[in-house]
């Protein structure tokens, strides 16, 4: 049996080193031949969010780096294993960078699973799925978020069996070996994981004074052409109309530029309200956004609490796909010493497609209304009220119609690249 291990730990992570070696020993004892990808040593670019792996070179990322070897190995494996330190209840940015590219192993078209929209299979068979995370001390909220994320991934990856194990502290060798052996045994028995319960978002923190300035962080690689920017820009316009100074930074063009990154960190020191707008990538935040949050959480806590707000959007018509990502953002705020002031989730974000909200027709009225409600509250120092998300949830297109229009759109794009007859191509299938 073949196991593929994606190691998302840092080089100086002692717990990660122990978990990895103990796991590999137990894999060998249970008959697995493990192929390990040490992600910090590989070369994987950030997912560009261009969907070329669906409509230009179906089933394969257009960037020829280690992501292709990983995708091919996963298709051929009986077991896929993630190793990661728990990051705000989610995966490390190193692991997430590889996970984001697994979109090439599923198809663009839609199916309904458990009453919600997902993407179709590309391959007939997918591996079982085991995720092992570790943390320094018990954290029930982060543990619940982590298990929920693993479960969400298992749905989109069509895993026949799924198991999640969390290592806390530095257990003795015998205890750690028992944990790894138990996890592999659970996979062998195909024990159902069940649906983990996601903790409710914490109440937002109210301030007695309004913010003087607000900074929009756009987490989409499409920058100004993204739905994330369209949503964030409209909120910034509403805040500016109430006398709040606003500015915008695009994370994807900032993180790899040391000068821009230092300027951003300096700007954050004098910012009252931080707004993060992002697209959903494989059930949670895109890898570069996680990497930036990791850097912020590692810095000294701000002397005066920063107010933190998020706006997420996803390509599925149901906004609940974003629940895990918002929970991770709230956990980050707690870890970094920021004041959580709430979040908004938009399903069917591709219908906005980066167009300025003010120019869209009546379909965008609930979105504009939701952002206006949020801006009014934030401008007074209050958290985003429930009424804003309730307004956002007024879907501007039925789910069945969204799926139909989306499927037609994928075919039109594929025809543009001359691959409309290859949309279900299986480049990594060897049998």
pLDDT in tens, 47-65: 999 999 999 999 999 999 9
> In terms of pTM, does the model score above 0.85?
yes
Q: What is the dihedral of CA 94, 97, 103, 105, to 10 degrees?
A: -50
Q: Where are the beta strands (DSSP E) in 315-355?
A: 339-346
Q: Per the structure block, which two tokens stand in for 240?
A: 């500016």
Q: Which of 249, 253, 294 is nearest to 94 (CA)?
A: 294
- The confidence band for 399, taking pLDDT boundaries of 50, 70 and 90, is confident
Question: Does residue 363 carry a pLDDT above 90?
Answer: no
Strands of 52-200 (E only): list them: 79-85, 106-113, 116-121, 128-135, 162-168
Pairing of strands 245-250, 273-279: unpaired
Rg (CA), the chain: 21
Sign of CA dihedral 419, 425, 430, 431: negative
Specify burial of residue 383 (Cβ count, 10 A radius: 0-12, 13-18, 19+).
Answer: buried
pLDDT digits (tens, 9 = 90+) for 145-193: 999 999 999 999 999 999 999 999 999 999 999 999 999 999 999 988 8
Rounded Cα gap, residues 281 and 228, in angstroms: 13
Exposure string for 355-370, b = 16+ CB within 10 A, e = fewer: eebeebeeebebbbeb
pLDDT digits (tens, 9 = 90+) for 418-427: 999 999 999 9
């Amino acid at each position: 049996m073949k196991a593929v291990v994606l190691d998302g730990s840092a080089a100086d992570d002692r717990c990660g080193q122990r978990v990895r070696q103990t796991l590999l020993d137990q894999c060998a004892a249970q008959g697995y031949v493990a192929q390990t990808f040490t992600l910090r040593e590989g070369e994987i670019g950030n997912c560009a969010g261009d969907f070329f792996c669906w409509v230009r070179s179906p089933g394969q990322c257009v960037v020829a780096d280690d992501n292709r070897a990983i995708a091919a190995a996963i298709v051929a494996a009986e077991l896929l294993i993630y190793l990661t330190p728990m990051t705000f209840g989610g995966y490390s940015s190193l692991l997430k960078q590889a996970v984001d590219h697994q979109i090439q192993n599923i198809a663009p078209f839609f199916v309904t699973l458990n009453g919600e929209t997902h993407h179709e299979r590309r391959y007939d068979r997918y591996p079982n799925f085991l995720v092992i995370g570790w943390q320094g001390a018990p954290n029930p909220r982060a543990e619940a978020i982590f298990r929920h994320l693993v479960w969400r991934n298992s749905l989109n990856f069509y895993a026949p069996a799924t198991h999640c194990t969390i290592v806390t502290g530095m257990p003795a060798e015998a205890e750690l070996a028992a944990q790894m052996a138990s996890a592999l045994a659970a996979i062998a028995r195909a024990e159902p994981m069940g649906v983990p319960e996601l903790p409710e978002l914490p109440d937002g923190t109210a301030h007695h004074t309004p913010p003087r300035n607000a900074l929009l962080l756009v987490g989409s690689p499409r920058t100004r052409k993204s739905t994330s920017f369209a949503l964030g820009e409209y909120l910034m316009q509403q805040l500016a109309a109430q006398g709040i100074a606003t500015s915008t930074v695009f994370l994807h063009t900032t993180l790899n530029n040391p000068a821009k990154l230092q300027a951003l960190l300096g700007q954050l020191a004098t910012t009252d309200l931080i707004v993060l707008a992002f697209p959903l990538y494989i059930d949670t935040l895109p890898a570069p956004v996680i990497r930036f949050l990791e850097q912020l959480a590692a810095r000294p806590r701000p002397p005066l609490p920063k107010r933190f707000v998020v706006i997420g959007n996803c390509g599925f018509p149901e906004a609940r796909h974003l629940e895990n990502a918002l929970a991770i953002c709230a956990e980050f705020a707690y870890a970094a010493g920021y004041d959580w002031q709430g979040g908004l989730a938009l399903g069917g974000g591709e219908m906005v497609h980066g167009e300025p909200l003010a120019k869209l027709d009546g379909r965008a009225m609930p979105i504009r209304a939701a952002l206006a409600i949020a801006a009014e509250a934030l401008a007074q120092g209050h958290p985003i009220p429930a009424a804003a998300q309730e307004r956002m949830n007024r879907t501007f297109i039925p789910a069945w119609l969204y799926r139909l229009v989306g499927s037609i759109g994928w075919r039109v794009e594929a025809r543009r690249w001359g691959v409309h007859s290859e949309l279900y191509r299986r480049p990594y299938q060897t049998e």
